[in-house]
Structure 1
Amino acid sequence: MALMPKRVKFRKSQKGRVRGNATRGNYVAFGEWGLQALAPGRISAQTIEAGRVVASQSVKGGGKLFIRIFPQKSVTAIPAETRMGKGKGEIEYWAAVVKPGTVLYEVSGLSEEAARAAFARVAHKMPIPCRFIGRRPTI
């Protein structure tokens, strides 16, 4: 089942726009390897779930998968061939707003080759370009 918030302050949200690079959530924090977004965009809850399924199949109990994004923005749509007016449409799906540099998924307990292969399959599902990154060495 797709992710969505338990409750929100307002049911319908404005579109907004994504400006600038990510200043938070832009490094590998929980695992050893990560998948980082290179462009701004919205990733639907269904796409996040599809990436989770593919990554968990690739991990196969050998490691642990971390999902670093959550869909908290409601995206509305009006039915096709509807006249103007009559208000804002109903919620179509939930999406996560992603800035360039945001880490989408992380994995631990896998070799670099296995993690790279797993994230290549996940990146293929994503609507934005992504890259494979490793954890920075700590001092």
Structure 2
Amino acid sequence: MKSCEAGRISYQAIEAARRAISREFRRNGQIWVRVFADIPITSKPTEVRMGKGKGNSTGWIARVVEGQILFEMDGVSLSNAQQAATLAAHKLCLSTKFVQWF
């Protein structure tokens, strides 16, 4: 799976897409996750005045550039891999494309 646009993906979205692919494969084949959420996101609580330092860490994101490979799959049929990629694409907030390597 390859991204068609640049953006940010949360760690929850990456895990949800990985689980969708894993369930579609029914534990057959292999999945490689090629993105890693390594950038912390911080935010201050609601109704808190400005200043007084940075807010608490609320989650992690991964920056994705256009054309970056998000997931690799092996050991399953082409139709099964395409179906899994479609299910995973619904979990992500970016537009993606299925790419076949020989």
Q: TM-score range by the shorter chain?
A: over 0.9
Task: Give 1:86 deviation, angstroms.
Answer: 1.3
Alignment of 1:105 with 2:40, yes or no, is no
Picking from 11, 17, 27, the partner of 1:61 is 27
Residue in structure 1 matched with residue 82 of structure 2 by the alignment: 116
> How much identity, in percent, do the aligned residues show?
36
Residue in structure 2 matched with residue 86 of structure 1 by the alignment: 52
1:47-84 CA-partner distances (Å, limit 9, x unpaired): 11111111100111221111111111011111111111
Q: Which runs of 5+ in 2 are unaligned?
A: none
The CA distance in 2 between the partners of 1:90 and 1:40, in whole Å, is: 26
The CA distance in 1 between the partners of 2:36 and 2:27, in whole Å, is: 23
1:45-56 equivalences in 2 (<5 Å): 45-56=11-22
Letter in 2 for 1:82: V
Give the TM-score taking structure 1 as reference length: 0.71
Q: Which runs of 5+ in 1 are unaligned?
A: 1-34
Higher helix share: 2
Give the TM-score taking structure 2 as reference length: 0.95
- The number of residue pairs the alignment matches comes to 102
Higher relative contact order (CA 8 A, sep 6+): 2
